Amino acid sequence: MSMKNVNTQFRTARALLVIAATLVSPAALAATYVLPPADVDLIGAITTVEATHEETLLDIARAHDVGFEDIVSANPDLDPWIPGEGVTVVLPTRFILPRAPREGVVLNLPELRMYYYPKPVNGEAPVVVTYPISIGRMDWQTPMGQTKVVKKVRNPSWYPPESIRKEHAEDGDPLPKIVPAGPDNPLGAFAMRLGIPGYLIHSTNKPAGVGMRVTHGCIRMYPEDIEALFEQVPVGEKVLIINQPYKVGWSLDALYLEAHQPLEEDAETLGKDMTSVTEMLVAATARRNGPVDWELVRTIFDRADGLPGQMSDSSPGRQDTGEIAVNAL
């Protein structure tokens, strides 16, 4: 077999793996993707739905497992509460994988998103599962760094810290020392305690807040998401909490940039200065050839809508949009 044929077969096999990374498992609804090769960073595809008469963007986000801020940023011209019957709604369901080891749980705070890389079993292809999350408010920041899951609890009781009880008391909403499991428990039915004292990944009795910065520092998930995750994540699983509002990655020969609004405490620096983005793009193109459209970089940086945009393509004439239209639920 000629070297040309070998290279062609290799590129074809690699392209099929990349295509597989856009496919969603039926059980997870836009959450589980085949993990692409190490030199490919994109998963998923941008999807669209038509809003029905009474749907809000909050309703559509929950139905398609995306967060509220995600869907609002992807549809800046729509009224979140009355988008309008028949209006096309963009679902932000394409992602650049974070710059982090592809193992365990990775939480990217400004993206308000979790990536979970379960260990393959029984020879199955490796996958990545991604979920929207809520994180700590500016005055109750979620800590960053490496930790792990140290305990898993079904139907947990909540023991509010004194600081939270004081805040509620000042707001005229006093809390008891113990909130038992049930509909009034903000931890919901599932909780995973982290190695950082006082912090959990947990369910919620207020799912409308998922995809926002609204917690006291814990990671909040849709009830259906953490129910699935709870069964997969073992005690001892690694958890990495990172701060990456800007992500750069390759898909085949095309380079992409994904921009999110920085955390409020970083807005004055990261939100106005493109230095970090420039450095990432320069480093990416130093390893692999590809011209960068710097005017488009600026547009995506300023827009910060969370949708990956193509920066370069070393194969002229090919545009990888990854767009799929689906029917509204």
**81-102 residue pLDDT tens:** 999 999 999 999 999 999 999 9
Name every residue whose Cβ is closer than 8 Å to that of residue 323 and which is 6 or more positions away in sequence: 45, 46, 47, 48
The predicted-structure confidence for 221-269, as pLDDT tens digits, reads as follows 999 999 999 999 999 999 999 999 999 999 988 999 999 999 998 888 8
What pLDDT, on a 0 to 100 scale, did the predictor assign at position 320? 47
Q: How far apart are CA 269 and CA 273, in angstroms?
A: 6
Nearest to 189 by CA among 217, 218, 228, 161: 228
Q: At what angle do helices 294-303 and 275-287 cross, to 10 degrees?
A: 130
Does 305 have pLDDT greater than 90?
yes
Enter the pTM of the model. Answer: 0.86
Number of H helices, E strands in the chain: 8, 19
In this predicted structure, the answer to whether residue 213 has a pLDDT above a threshold of 60 is yes
Comparing 323 with 68, the larger pLDDT belongs to 68
Which residues are annotated as catalytic?
Answer: 202, 218
% of the chain with per-residue pLDDT over 90: 66
Q: Specify whether the CB–CB gap between 271 and 118 falls below 8 A.
A: no
User: Residue 173's pLDDT is what?
Assistant: 74
What pLDDT shows up at residue 313? 60
Higher pLDDT, 315 or 171: 171
Predicted local confidence at residue 12, as pLDDT: 44
In this structure, what token pair is assigned to residue 165? 């009880």
Instruction: Rank 22-36, 140-154, 279-293, 309-323 by mean pLDDT and report only the highest.
Output: 140-154
Average pLDDT of span 290-303: 91
Q: Domains of the chain (ranges plus CATH)?
A: 1-46+93-99+245-329 (no CATH), 114-242 (2.40.440.10)
259 vs 305: CA distance, rounded Å: 6
